[in-house]
Amino acid sequence: MNRATLLFFFLFWSLAHGQENRQIISGKVLNDTIPLENVHIINKNSRKGTISNRLGHFKISVAVNDTLIISDIQFEKRIILVNQGHILEKFILINLYELTNELDEVIVRQYEDMSEELGLPNAGKKPLNKLERNLNHYSQKSTAVVILQALLFKPGGIDDVYNIVSGNRKRDRKLKALIEQDEQNARNISFSKKLREQFQDDFFINSVKIEKEHIIPYINFCIPMGIINLYDKGRMIEVIDILLKNKDPYYESLNTIDEY
């Protein structure tokens, strides 16, 4: 095996080995010459991230060919491919530009269901199940009004009284509420697991300062603040802000429960 072949294999091994063993490098985020604080730097490959401090400094673990996503609400997002120079210098300088307002893109969509495009009643709605049909059939008026209508021989009055007296209306309302709560709980559990996998435990432990056993409960605590909707819309910076800012209220709520 000649020297050129040996050199080729050595370089190939070094590059592959570098992908598996990331190194921590420093960096600084600026707008012109002004340091930027709380800018989010995410390694797309390792799915780990960090934020810049008040001097614009940050540290992050990277390997050659990793993709860094740098974003802030007030500045244009930047994407940087880590190269060998960044690794050797152990430093990366990032300059962000202020975000300019632009009109949202207008999308013309052709619907397969013309009833939806024309805005007809029930367009695009899924068929009701038996429970939902029952609830729609029941009178939504108060018991006193239902009894009065029955005494006045109004249409449906006797049936409405029977559904109230027999407990059918109350039972089905409770059943629907329980089903909806179970479905919401299942969605919350699925979302919590997905968010934890994306940010990894290091983010919650080192950046948010949450103990490992509190990660899932903490995500559940933040769900009422709208992070599922923000996540679905791709507004990750706002999701991260919520996670970073609500650690103290979370622990205060635990202390309140303990005292009670």
**Hey, CA dihedral for 236, 237, 239, 240, is it positive or negative?**
positive
Looking at residue 208, the DSSP 8-state letter turns out to be I
Give a yes or no: residue 4 inside a domain.
Answer: no
Give a yes or no: residue 245 inside a domain.
Answer: yes
pLDDT tens per residue, range 53-93 = 999 999 999 999 999 999 998 899 999 999 999 999 999 99
% of the chain at pLDDT higher than 90: 33
**Would you give the distance in Å from CA 112 to the centre of its chain?**
30
Q: What is the pLDDT of residue 238?
A: 92
Count of residues in the chain: 260
Domain, as residue range, for 170? 132-259
Residues 85 and 139 occupy one common structural domain? no
Give how many domains the chain has, as a whole number.
2
Question: How far, in Å, CA of 241 to CA of 69, rounded?
Answer: 16
% of the chain at pLDDT higher than 70: 65
Give a yes or no: residue 136 inside a domain.
Answer: yes
What are 110's two structure tokens?
Answer: 């052709």
Q: What is the pLDDT of residue 108?
A: 59
Inter-residue long-range contacts of 247-252, CB under 8 Å, 24+ positions, other chains counted: 247/208, 247/209, 247/210, 247/218, 249/221, 250/210, 250/214, 250/217, 250/218, 250/221, 250/222
pLDDT tens per residue, range 96-121 = 998 876 555 656 565 555 555 555 55
Share the mean pLDDT of the chain: 78
Choose the final residue of a domain: 76, 95, 114.
Answer: 95
